[in-house]
Amino acid sequence: MPEIIRSILSSSVYDVAIETPLERMGPLSDRLGRPVLLKREDLQPVFSFKLRGAYNKLASLSDADRARGVICASAGNHAQGLAYSATRMGVRSVIVMPTTTPSIKVEAVKRLGGEVVIYGDAFDDARLHALDLCERENLCFVHPYDDPEVIAGQGTIGVEILRQHGGRIAALYVPIGGGGLAAGIAAYAKFLRPDIKVIGVEPEDAASMKAALAAGHPVPLNEVGIFADGVAVREAGELPFAILKDTLDEVITVSTDAICAAIKDIFEHTRAIAEPAGAVSLAGLRKHAPTLDVPGAAIAICSGANINFDRLRHVAERAELGERAEAILAVTIPEKPGSYRAFMRLLGSRAITEFNYRIAPGSNAQIFVGIGLKGGDAEKAEIIAMLREHGHTVLDLTYDEVAKLHIRYMVGGRVEGLRNELLYRFEFPERPGALLKFLEGLAPDWNISLFHYRNHGSDYGRVLTGIQVPPGEREAFEAYLDTLGYAHWDESDNPAYTMFLASA
């Protein structure tokens, strides 16, 4: 530990990085009954903390190594931090990025002086190609998190926090992807102030450090969600794990909706728009800080603000759910004139955020309704109980991903007599040919019976598809999905699908 601390305190980051402010979030502080502070790393020249570690690594290289040039594989903030740092030092930088990288990030790296190489459909393809180029062209590889100098550079954030806030600190909430940022901050904080709780925060669908701690060593995840792409890492770093297993008090996970609510909180306080990974630690603070049993400030890191503009639509849709400010319900009402009016009277003056309905045969109708909440989950429970008392069947879909991503846009799509339909949810890479690759592998008698795609401004598109597969061919179909290589989930028993779309 003393060696890590010396490296942090002697880091060369301020030639390019700034000391970012530690801001008090007034409304959130009032809600939680303790000071809530936000470390504004989104204000760095490349809008992310990654600049610190990248520059410190370059500064640690010998003149001979810098003369060789540097290389990395990255689709985001590490790429920009390395390109910016290398240009400032007059060092050649090569950045390998997968074909799914949004053009805004590619152009940003080019503007910062990096030589962009586009290769592969996924990050792992780009990483392997970068290692190959590293060897062939005798370049120095700069890892985004599994490197002591990178970790030391990120650790300067911890130095600034403890200097900027001299009062009592109950907990630091640190975002974790590969673990470099968390390792640097946790090492310094625990060395100087062991009383401070250090809480790691990961997305629920990309919890690589939580899995590593449970296993006792880094392990690869089978699937990684990519909404918070800046922390979407399949396997935690070896060196960060070695540090964090002794310095973290706890690792918690947060949902996509909670991350979106945290982005909204940051915007309302600062008028800045954090990227999803940049708001992960505040989402964790919102979830965990009410359980703290010691006084003092709760501090989160706004780690970056490199967000594509078209992702804001998705963020805004999900923020209300993350704040427990909207309920999404499927409700059965009588299929007769006046039913809608009677249903609305039950809800009274509550705001209706969404209402989907299509006439259907039979005596009952299924409606998909969004209701604004002021009292969170308690008010939602009251509404559900009230509707059931009046004879309505109610299904709570507030936390159902299929309902929120797809079915809300497809209500009324029933087909009578449809046989052998399986429902699958996919994440397709956003690149030309991804859908064609999927279709070309289908057997001739596997008919697509339903398809919904909506772009959410990310590297991957979310797809819901129904496919008619005879029972005797299910095993072959599952084998085909495994060879396809796209993340997928069987949703054939999803209650929202059963209620609104499945064949009667």
Q: Which residue numbers are catalytic?
A: 50, 303
Helices (H), 20-112: 26-32, 50-60, 63-68, 77-89, 103-111
Residue 457, classed as helix, strand or coil, is: coil
Q: At 302, which helix (H) or strand (E)? A: strand 297-302
Q: Which of 410, 340, 339, 431 is closest to 75 using CA atoms? A: 431
Q: What φ, ψ does residue 91 adopt, rounded to 5°? A: -110, 140
29: left (phi over 0), alpha (psi -120 to 50) or beta: alpha
What is the per-residue DSSP string for 401-454? HHHHHTGGGTTT---TT--SEEEEEEEEESSTTHHHHHHHTS-TT-EEEEEEEE
Q: Per the structure block, which two tokens stand in for 410?
A: 């497809």
Q: At 396, which helix (H) or strand (E)? A: strand 394-396
Return d(Cα 419, Cα 434) in angstroms, integer.
27
Cβ atoms 124, 96 nearer than 8 A = no
Q: Which distant-in-sequence residues (6+ apart) come within 8 Å of 427 by Cβ?
A: 226, 460, 461, 462, 463, 486, 487, 488
Strand positions, DSSP E, 110-243: 115-118, 140-141, 169-175, 197-203
Return d(Cα 328, Cα 428) in angstroms, integer.
26
Rounded to a whole number of angstroms, the CA Rg of the chain reads: 25
Q: In what order do the strands lie in the sheet with 326-334?
A: 352-356, 364-372, 326-334, 394-396
Helices (H), 2-62: 2-9, 26-32, 50-60
Q: Which distant-in-sequence residues (6+ apart) come within 8 Å of 111 by Cβ?
A: none
